Amino acid sequence: MKKALLALGLAAAMTGCTSVESATVGSNEVSATGGEAVAVVQATSLGLTFIFHIVDAVTSDLDEVVNKLLVGEAKAMGATKVDLKYASTTPRHGIWAVFALPMFINLIGTPSSSAVGIAVK
């Protein structure tokens, strides 16, 4: 039983965590540059790294969040492009690679990335 729970926990940790939320909006209620607003889309990803962010077990970066999750959801909703409003990721270089909050050596890291945009038709 303990081995099964450990295997389940390890499998859950290795798959990472992604979340994509969207809300359809009227084009007369929300303005977007370059066309007619279809929806507001938010994408968030949580990764898993080891040894000062050198080894990526589960990737979480801006490329994945913006290009795969945010744009993918917008195109699935019928949009042709995304008006990007916000994007952020956990720093991985410099002092951020050595220390994790609250000031522990960063042997296991959980970088997170998020982006928000307006799907435009």
DSSP β-bridge partners for residue 100: 104
Any idea what the Cα angle at residue 65 is, between residues 46 and 83, rounded to 5°? 140
Domain that holds residue 115: 16-120
User: How far, CA to CA in Å, does 36 sit from each of 3, 18, 19?
Assistant: 53, 27, 25
Specify if 96 maps to a domain.
Answer: yes
Give dist(CA 30, CA 36) in Å, integer: 9
Q: What pLDDT is recorded for position 87?
A: 95
User: How far, CA to CA in Å, does 71 sit from each of 25, 100, 117?
Assistant: 17, 31, 9
Specify if 53 maps to a domain.
Answer: yes
Specify if 9 maps to a domain.
Answer: no
Number of domains in the chain: 1
Average pLDDT, the chain: 83
Specify if 8 maps to a domain.
Answer: no
Specify if 38 maps to a domain.
Answer: yes
Specify if 5 maps to a domain.
Answer: no
Q: Which amino acid, 38?
A: V
Q: What pLDDT is recorded for position 104?
A: 65
**110 φ, ψ (degrees, to nearest 5):** -125, 80
Q: Is residue 12's pLDDT more than 80?
A: no
Question: What is the DSSP code (8-state) at residue 51?
Answer: T
Higher pLDDT, 103 or 38: 38
Specify if 6 maps to a domain.
Answer: no
Specify if 35 maps to a domain.
Answer: yes
SS3 label, residue 44: strand
pTM, to two decimals:
0.78
**pLDDT tens across 27-85, in order?**
788 888 888 999 999 999 988 888 877 888 888 889 999 999 999 999 999 999 999 99
Q: What pLDDT is recorded for position 31?
A: 81
